[in-house]
C-alpha cells in the first residue's frame, strides 16, 4: 500500500495510504482533498486533475502520452517539468513516498 503525500494549496501536507491500482486523482477525490476537481472523471479530457510531481519521482513515472501532453499545455496553472495529470498516474508499491503538489488553480 503506497503512501502518497499531497501538498495542498495552503502548504500543508496530507499523507494517505493509497490503494495500489488507484490513480493519484481517484485517491485525492476519495479522501476529499480540495484542489483536484477531476471534472471529466478520469477520462483524460479536462486537465482539472493537474498536479506537480516531486522531482525525485518524475523519472520514475512512465512519460505522458500524446493526449496527456496536449492537455498539459492547456492547464490553468503554469506547466512545470513535474506537471502531470493525476488521473494518469496509477499508483503502485514502487511509488511509495510519492509527493505531489496541488496547483493554485485548476480553472
Ligand atoms: S480527471 Fe479529467 S483529465 Fe484527469
Strands (E), the chain: 3-7, 13-17, 50-53, 83-85, 99-101
Residue of the nearest CA to atom 3 in ligand 1?
44
Structural domain boundaries in the chain:
3-101
pLDDT digits 0-9 by tens, 22-59: 999 999 999 999 999 999 999 999 999 999 999 999 99
Q: For residue 107, is pLDDT > 80?
A: no
Whether 29 lines ligand 1, by a CB cut-off of 6 Å, is: no
* pLDDT of res. 3: 98
For residue 88, the CA-to-ligand 1 centroid distance in Å is: 8
* pLDDT of res. 106: 87
Q: For residue 1, is pLDDT > 90?
A: no
Whether 64 lines ligand 1, by a CB cut-off of 6 Å, is: no
Instruction: Determine the 3-state secondary structure of 53 from DSSP.
Output: strand
For residue 97, the CA-to-ligand 1 centroid distance in Å is: 22
Rounded distance, CA 95 to CA 41, Å?
22
The matching CATH number, chosen from 3.10.20.30, 1.10.3720.10, 3.40.50.1220, 3.40.50.720, for 3-101 is 3.10.20.30
Amino acid at each position: 500500500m503506497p503512501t502518497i503525500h499531497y501538498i495542498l494549496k495552503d502548504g500543508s501536507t496530507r499523507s494517505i495510504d493509497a490503494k495500489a491500482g488507484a490513480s493519484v486523482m481517484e485517491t485525492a477525490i476519495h479522501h476529499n482533498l480540495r484542489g483536484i476537481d477531476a471534472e471529466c472523471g478520469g477520462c483524460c479530457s479536462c486537465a482539472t486533475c493537474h498536479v506537480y510531481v516531486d522531482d525525485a519521482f518524475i523519472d520514475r513515472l512512465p512519460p505522458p502520452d500524446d493526449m496527456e501532453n496536449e492537455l498539459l499545455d492547456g492547464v490553468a496553472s503554469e506547466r512545470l517539468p513535474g506537471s502531470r495529470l493525476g488521473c494518469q498516474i496509477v499508483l503502485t508499491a514502487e511509488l511509495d513516498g510519492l509527493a505531489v503538489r496541488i496547483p493554485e488553480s485548476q480553472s
